[in-house]
Amino acid sequence: MLRGVVDDLLTVLLPGRCPGCGRRAEPVCERCAAGMRSAPHAPPVPGIAWSTAAFAYEGVARELVARVKYRNERIAVRWLGARLADRCTSAPFAIDIVTWVPASASRRAARGVDHGALLARVVGSGIGRDVYELLKRDNGPPQTGRPAAERRAGPTLHAGGSFAGRNVLVVDDVVTTGATLAAAARALHAGGAREVLAATVARTPRPGEGRPVPPYTRSPADDPGG
């Protein structure tokens, strides 16, 4: 909570710059926000009854996600989470509980916070639903940066808590192969979830769908992805 208050004060005193054009903006200017491409179509993820993603994982959207994952910028968390909450209003099933895909142990240790939990809380607040930590992640390598063939196996997740017979929304930052969401769905269904829905900030375009944009370059202070 203290970190969030400090971030809010710094936002007022030292406003950041838009990742698209460099203008003073928190976290992105209106013009660049309007130019962010909607998430591309993707095939269904096994076990997920409905899913949505706010943006294509490219350009400004990619930089905003990076600011959340590698720099823990709370203003970007709130901005992205609010837009994801708007997407969830069109879900064909009633959402009873919101949860998230937990970050790897190495990311939590490095950052001292799980950015997925922060996003989930913004989404839950936006749609008026309680947020609970229902998933636990076994120790293992982060998904980010791994070859697609390895990512398809997904992380090992286990579910716990009281949610049997209820519809659960899983929040995550980026979906590429869908393996992580599929793993979450398996764990939640095994725990008795009625329907599992998914909401991700961004979706990675398939080959040929994306725009030729430079990759995000982490600073030396940034750690590997999770």
DSSP, collapsed to helix, strand or coil, labels residue 129 as coil
Average pLDDT over residues 37-51: 95
pLDDT digits (tens, 9 = 90+) for 167-204: 999 999 999 999 999 999 999 999 999 999 999 999 99
- Count the neighbouring beta carbons within 10 Å of the beta carbon of residue 89: 10
Predicted confidence (pLDDT) at residue 66 exceeds the cutoff of 70: yes
Q: Minimal CA–CA distance to 102: which of 112, 90, 92, 117? A: 117
* 216 located within any domain: no
The CATH code of the domain that includes 197 is: 3.40.50.2020
pLDDT digits (tens, 9 = 90+) for 121-161: 999 999 999 999 999 998 765 555 555 566 666 799 999 99
Q: What is the predicted pLDDT for the residue at 222? A: 41
The answer to whether the beta carbons of residues 47 and 18 sit under 8 Å apart is no
* 189 located within any domain: yes
* 71 located within any domain: yes
* 19 located within any domain: no
* 2 located within any domain: no
3-state DSSP: the chain helix, strand, coil percent, rounded to 5? 35, 15, 50
Q: How many domains does the chain have?
A: 1
Higher pLDDT, 77 or 111: 77
Give the strands of the sheet with 50-56, arranged side by side: 50-56, 196-203, 168-175, 97-100
The answer to whether the beta carbons of residues 158 and 102 sit under 8 Å apart is no
Predicted confidence (pLDDT) at residue 205 exceeds the cutoff of 60: yes
Joined together, the tokens standing for residue 86 give: 């708007």
Q: What is the predicted pLDDT for the residue at 109? A: 80
| Model confidence band, residue 212 (pLDDT cutoffs 50, 70, 90) | very low
* 47 located within any domain: yes
* 24 located within any domain: no
Please report, to the nearest 10 degrees, the dihedral formed by the alpha carbons of residues 5, 218, 52, 44 taken in order.
Answer: -150
* 20 located within any domain: no
pLDDT digits (tens, 9 = 90+) for 95-105: 999 999 999 88
Residues facing 158 on adjacent strands:
136
Strands 135-137 and 157-159: antiparallel
